[in-house]
Structure 1
Amino acid sequence: MAASVLRRRIYELLDKGLAGSWLADLVHGALIALVMVNVAAVVLESMPALASAYAGEFRALEIASVAAFSLEYVARLWVAPEHPPYHGLSPLRARLRAALSPALIIDLLAIVPFYVGLLLDVDLRFLLLLRLVRFFKLARYSPGFASLVDALWSERRALGASLLIFLGALVIAASAMRLAEQEAQPDKFATIPDALWWAVITLTTVGYGDVYPVTGAGKIIAAFTAVTGIVMLALPVGIVATAFAREIQRRDFVVTWSMVTGVPLFSGLDAASVAEVMRSLTSATYEPGALICRGGQPARAVFVIAEGEVEAEGAGGRRELGAGQCFGEAAVLQGRPMEVTVRALTRVKVLALDADELHHLRATRPAIGLVIATLAESWESAGEAPDRP
């Protein structure tokens, strides 16, 4: 039992959620800083003067970093059964599944060069590049990076088509330029492969200037190629930007939808009504010990706990509420003061639906009004008040 509690605590430190905690923030901040220091060290170590002058410091940093990253890797494998996608699997299968995930593969590659160097006892300077894999560990701590990867994967076919079009334009431009410039510059445009270098730097709008047309026909081709290059670059950028924005909206929508539909007050609503409720929600984060609402005061909102835990205290005693649970709905619907005082036990993120907004939705959306009225009647007949411990 103690081991499972410890495993859960470590999981919460390594994979903080929406609310997180100050300790989880500290752990993540330290790991991010360590990754950045390692990347800087790899860059600086490539300078012979610094590498010889600070060889001991670089070595000490590498040993300390590998020790920290190794501990993180082992810890992430150990807490894998706590990861939601692996619930229901045996601990062994959960850890095997986690070990094959892209994130843990990157974590493994980040420490492999050091251990390979120790085991083989040879100069493996060519593995220096693998140490830069540590930079990609930052993706774990950036939801935006993860969303970007998902966006690229979702638009892989469109991006593949863009690449195919670019390659076609590349070959056509190189072939046309060879025909126009072959006689004038046989040393630079003798073959299509020779002309491909010019086509690449022109289509990508780099324009080094080491190879350029001198004939009239070649200049006309170069002008069309340069304009085409702008279009070719804008096409994948637009695809990625649109997909990235859509992915972020989708993630927020899915999380909020699951929260709203999990609340008894809204569980019977149709999709259109749930979407209407979601547009009226606001979010807030409370630190441990912070007062969310006080008993005896007017009920100002219905609160849904997105993440974290709260303590509700009233005449009936105390109880703890966690993610997915709600409070305040009975008081809002029945127009009476709150009967409980609610404080944050951990760092808590809540979604709030203002009382005026709820009454407005109830009046303007028949489906919402019907569900709420039915639920309120059931509470009254049963003598229940969900906001009372």
Structure 2
Amino acid sequence: MPTATMRHRAYEALDKGLAGSPAADAVHVTLIVLIMVNVVAVILESVPTIAGTYGTLFVVVEIVSTVIFTIEYGVRLWTAPEHPLLQSLKPLRARLRHAMSPAMVVDLLVILPFYVSLIGGIDLRFLLLLRLARFFKLARYSPGFASLTEALWSERRALGASLIIFIGVLVIAAAAMRLAEHDAQPDKFATIPDALWWAVITLTTVGYGDVFPVTPAGKLIAGVTAITGVAMLALPVGIIATAFAREIQRRDFVVTWSMVSSVPLFAGLDAASIADVMRSLKSVTYEPGAVICRSGQQARAMFVVAEGEVVVETDDGPIGLAAGQCFGETAVLNRTPLHATVRAMQRAKVLILDAEDLHHLMSLRPAIGVVIAAQVQNLAAGAPDQA
């Protein structure tokens, strides 16, 4: 096997597992389980009685995990030239660029504690903290975490402005409280830095109760500060929540757009027409063996396979349809019954376009009907519609 092919397959296994190949899924599940085992081990190892009883087991887990994570790190560096964003670079430069990415920095921090501990003379508590960094490797396998990261980055300026406002309110509240409480509690509010602790606890609405005002002016300032703290916390939370929701919608839009535009039936549509089709689509998930539509039923919708695989049961034998393929379009356009039963071979996500919605779109945009009718004729000429 050529080296380039091996490297590409290794890249697919490590970075394309979410796409669905069994080998890649197995690699990802193994790494996720190993990460969780390591996090649990680090937590349990902090209990003296458990550490004394199972110390050898913890050492074995650490050695095996470090070896696997080191191999993973090395393979990720080796396959860096296969990354779409790095393919234009020379292999060495691509690997250096990839090594500086946040995900790879986390991967490096994951394996450092073991090798640093071999040197000796290092604070073990610091190494324990680095070992817990393995938890953040899960971010690589979580689309939601990736969306949150993108949301935080896109709103970094707004969040920075919120932080500046918070610091300003914090300093003003501390200065005002020091002025009001200095004479009554000189040991607790002697300076503005001393009052900053109270201001932080009050603005964040924690309220430990170790430092509190006793004068009327101080209590008034504390009340205003506490109310202001609620607004200060709501501001960044609102920014992050809005950005996160927008990022999720954007990702869903991009995925759906890519899926719809790649379907041969819609290949000739312009952007506006594809957007109209997307707005009418509904997503339904079918479990393995579930019937999506039955032969002889009146066609009520056409279907596009978004994820997984379905099988069309015909007289000539079953025909498998994978992601991006559609069925039921001819029956919908001709308003005839379906010619075959379609079942989900595995857990499948299917995009459904109701017949009424399709005909309504065709009436609003006649060009959609012309393009779809032409595509159906072309598909029928090459391979008759089975559903």
- Which interval holds the TM-score relative to the shorter structure? 0.7 to 0.9
SS at 2:352 equivalent: strand
Aligned 1:77-156 pairs, distance under 5 A: 77-86=77-86, 94-118=94-118, 120-125=119-124, 126-156=126-156
The residue matched to 2:306 in structure 1 has which SS?
strand
AA paired with 1:161? A
Check the 8 A contact 1:19/1:348 in 2, yes or no.
no
Cα deviations by residue, 1:108-147 (Å, 9 ceiling, x for unpaired): 21111112223x2445513221111101011112211111
Give the 3 Å change call, closer, same or farther, for CA 8–100 of structure 1 in structure 2.
same
Tell which deviates more after alignment, 351-360 or 163-172: 351-360
Indicate yes or no: 2:343 matched with 1:372.
Answer: no
Note the residue ranges of structure 1 that are not aligned, 5 or more in a row.
none
Match among 362, 384, 388 for residue 381 of structure 2: 384
Q: Whole-Å Cα distance in 1 between the matches of residues 383 and 88 of structure 2?
A: 30
Query: For residues 384 and 87 of structure 1, do their structure 2 counterparts lie closer, same or farther at Cα, with a shift above 3 Å needed?
Result: farther
Specify the SS of the correspondent of 2:190.
coil
CA distance in 2, matches of 1:280, 1:311: 24
- Aligned CA distance change for structure 1 residues 157 and 89 (closer, same or farther; 3 Å): same
State the TM-score, normalized to the length of structure 2: 0.83
**1:151: Cα distance to partner?**
0.9
1:98-247 aligned within 5 A: 98-118=98-118, 120-125=119-124, 126-247=126-247
SS of residue matched to 1:384: helix
Query: Are 2:266 and 2:371, in contact at CA under 8 Å, matched by a contact in 1?
Result: no
Any unmatched runs of 5+ in structure 2?
none
Contact 2:265 2:375 survives alignment (8 Å): no
Letter in 2 for 1:156: R
Cα distance in 2, alignment partners of residues 56 and 19 from structure 1: 38
Per-residue CA shift, 1:81-125, capped at 9, x if unaligned? 55444456665555444333222221121111112223x244551
Q: How many residues align?
A: 385
Query: C-alpha displacement at 1:230, in angstroms?
Result: 1.0
SS of residue paired to 2:220:
helix
Instruction: Tell me, yes or no, if the aligned pair for 1:295 and 1:314 is still in contact at 8 Å.
Output: no
Letter in 1 for 2:147: S
Q: Hey, what's the Cα distance between the residues in 2 that align with 1:147 and 1:251?
A: 8
Report the residue type matching 1:226 in the other structure.
A
One-letter amino acid of the structure 1 residue matched with residue 276 of structure 2: E
Between the aligned partners of 1:172 and 1:380, the Cα distance in structure 2 is: 73
Q: What are the equivalent positions in structure 2 for 1:299-318 lying under 5 Å apart? A: 301-307=301-307
Q: Which has the higher contact order (CA 8 A, sep 6+)?
A: 1
SS at match of 2:209: coil
Cα pair 1:328 1:387 within 8 Å, conserved = no
Q: C-alpha separation between the residues in 2 aligned to 1:228 and 1:382?
A: 64
Aligned counterparts of 1:39 and 1:377: Cα–Cα separation in 2: 57
Is contact 1:148-1:244 (8 Å) kept? yes
Deviation sequence 1:172-221 (CA, Å, 0-9, x none): 00111111111111111111111111111111111111111111111111
SS in 1 for 2:227: helix
CA deviations 1:18-71 (Å, max 9, x no partner) are 663666555434332322221222222233343333321211111121122223
- 3-state SS in 1 of match to 2:213: coil
CA 1:236–1:377: 2 relative to 1, 3 Å: closer
**Which amino acid letter does the alignment assign opposite residue 197 of structure 1?**
W
1:261 and 2:261 are equivalent in the alignment? yes
Q: Secondary structure at the match of 1:212?
A: coil
Structure 1 residue 254, shift from structure 2 partner: 1.1
For 1:344 and 1:2, locate their aligned partners in 2 and report how far apart those are by CA, in whole Å. Answer: 37
Matching residue's letter, 1:191: T
Alignment check: 8 A CA contact 2:203 2:226 kept: yes
- State whether structure 2 residue 276 is matched by structure 1 residue 273: no
- Residues 3 and 244 of structure 1: is their aligned pair in 2 closer, same or farther, counting only changes over 3 Å? same
Match of 2:20 in 1: 20
Counterpart CA distance in 1 for 2:239 and 2:25 is: 34
CA 1:164–1:127 in 2, change beyond 3 Å: closer, same or farther?
same
Contact conserved, 1:327 with 1:387, CA < 8 A, in 2? Answer: no
Structure 2: distance between partners of 1:8 and 1:15: 10
SS at match of 1:184: coil
Residue identity in the other structure for 1:192: I
CA distance in 1, matches of 2:100, 2:340: 47
The Cα of 1:373 is off from its aligned counterpart by: 1.8
